Amino acid sequence: MRSAPTIMHLDMDAFFAAAEQAAKPSLRGKAVVVGGLGPRGVVSTASYEARAFGVHSAMPMGQARRLAPHAAYLVPRFTLYREISEQVMRLLGALSPLVEPLSLDEAFVDLEAGKVAFDARSAREAGERLRSDIKSVTGLTGSVGLAASKMLAKIGSERAKPDGLVLIEPGTERDLLAPLSVRTLPGVGPATGDHLRRAGITSVGEIAEAGSDELVRLLGRAHGASLYAMALALDERPVVAEREGKSVSVEDTYDVDIHDRVRVRGEVARLADRCVSRLRESGRSGRTVVLKVRRFDFSTLTRSETLRGPTDDPAVVREAAARLLEGVDTTGGVRLLGVGVSGLADYTQEDLFAQAATERLAAEVAAREKEPAPSAEPAAPEPAVRHWRPGRDVTHRVHGPGWVQGSGVGRVTVRFETPQSPPGRVRTFPVDDPDLSPSEPLPLVRP
């Protein structure tokens, strides 16, 4: 391990919800929940105001609505989140060539490799400067942990939330870790935590006292030895710079294990769609679909299926992931699901005959649906009706930019405001109002 706290972990604060509050002046200081709004939707991010009511990520959206009925419930706007993430990652790249992104809002940075920090003082200065730069560039806040290892830097950023910085001085790690719950350590989920609790081990310090042999006996060689080393604050993992991806994948970890097989299937389908969205954004396609399942006992299973050719078709990836899931036993519960595509290529090679058959079938179905009843008069074609989802950006020919606050019964309610304006007025229109149209997100900070 290092002798100086030159590994940084940055974690943006309630990222999706904070971005929505910054974009929508009327929601600042109020409870905001971002996620899937359908019957089986889950919370992606909750603002700190919503967390005060007990709402948290991965919670079923129905439960969140019961806990915080007056919160604003919005669909995610990944175009905006990716734009902000790119701004943040550029700031991190200016600090060091070794930046390891973990997600859109989280990354490790090796400050020593960037020659911006060699001791506690210079590391703290770099962290405070980064937090200030993030606020001025994006308008959002991030929390920073600084330590001599990745594990401790991440623990530091958690203790710094929200909008803070915690530096863990080398030599103080064991004392810091000792009183913390065993769940603090990476790899300790509900099942492992319960197993340790039944053995009388509830804190990190008690893991260290138990010794390596006891941990191996309780948890197995690999898991037990790893937890014992972490309890001693030993973590030699380097910060690994982002490389050109050999695969594209997405995964979600659930705070509460999923037992409902129907919901597991729905989550896999949703992850497959997200994975394909990322695949298309990168201009790639892939031929191997990978399913990752981490079960209640922390055992992780990976299954894969190689297709006849590269694809970026969401239906193909969904179906392959569903087939892979059929071979996995999820009876005891699932705590993590992931879908990925590997074997990347810069083109697609779809089965043209299958594609033609699909298109022909779709055309036949559409033709049958349009056929009038034998005795009925020919019906005039119905105009297409837009689906306005809460939180989406819109613009009105007269009133300008705004966002959808809600819709139903043929009406859509829009609040007209921008990131730089005061809270705006609310107006209601027919859902097919020709003057109202979808638009792209506005920048949070004025250029």
Q: Would you call 140 helix, strand, or coil by DSSP?
A: coil
| Domain match, 130 and 205 both | no
| Domain match, 51 and 179 both | no
Dist. CA 314–CA 132, nearest whole Å: 40
What is the pLDDT at residue 332?
Answer: 85
Dist. CA 102–CA 78, nearest whole Å: 16
**Diameter over CA atoms, the chain:** 87
Asked whether residue 369 is domain-assigned, the answer is no
Compute CA distances 46 → 41, 51, 66, whole Å: 14, 6, 14
| Domain match, 15 and 137 both | yes
| Domain match, 300 and 316 both | yes
Compute CA distances 12 → 31, 162, 293, 445, whole Å: 18, 9, 27, 17
Specify whether the CB–CB gap between 290 and 329 falls below 8 A: no
CATH number at residue 274: 3.30.1490.100
| Domain match, 100 and 133 both | yes
| Domain match, 73 and 158 both | yes
Residue 59 has φ and ψ, to the nearest 5°, of: -75, 140
| Domain match, 45 and 149 both | yes
Domain, as residue range, for 75: 1-169
Asked whether residue 313 is domain-assigned, the answer is yes
Compute CA distances 107 → 3, 100, 120, 145, 157, whole Å: 21, 5, 20, 11, 11
Dist. CA 55–CA 295, nearest whole Å: 24
CATH number at residue 37: 3.30.70.270
Going residue by residue through the chain, which has 447 residues, state the pLDDT in tens, using 9 for 90 and above. Answer: 788 999 999 999 999 999 999 999 999 999 999 988 877 678 989 999 999 999 998 889 999 999 999 999 999 898 899 899 999 999 999 999 999 988 889 999 999 999 999 999 999 999 999 999 999 999 999 999 999 999 999 999 999 999 999 999 999 999 999 999 999 888 787 888 888 999 999 999 999 999 999 999 988 888 888 899 999 999 888 998 855 557 888 998 887 889 999 999 999 999 999 999 888 877 778 889 999 999 887 788 999 998 877 888 888 999 999 999 998 989 888 989 999 998 887 544 443 334 334 444 444 445 544 445 444 444 444 444 467 999 999 999 999 999 999 998 999 999 999 999 999 999 999 999 999 999 999 999 866
Sign of the torsion formed by the C-alpha atoms of 211, 216, 221 and 227: negative
Asked whether residue 323 is domain-assigned, the answer is yes
Asked whether residue 388 is domain-assigned, the answer is no
- Which of these three, 345, 374, 408, is where a domain ends? 345
Dist. CA 253–CA 263, nearest whole Å: 14
| Domain match, 184 and 159 both | no
| Domain match, 73 and 149 both | yes
| Domain match, 278 and 130 both | no
| Domain match, 131 and 256 both | no
Quickly tell me which residue has 């929505």 as its tokens: 20
- Residues known to be catalytic: 106
Dist. CA 348–CA 344, nearest whole Å: 10
Residue 132 has φ and ψ, to the nearest 5°, of: -65, -40
- Number of domains making up the chain: 4
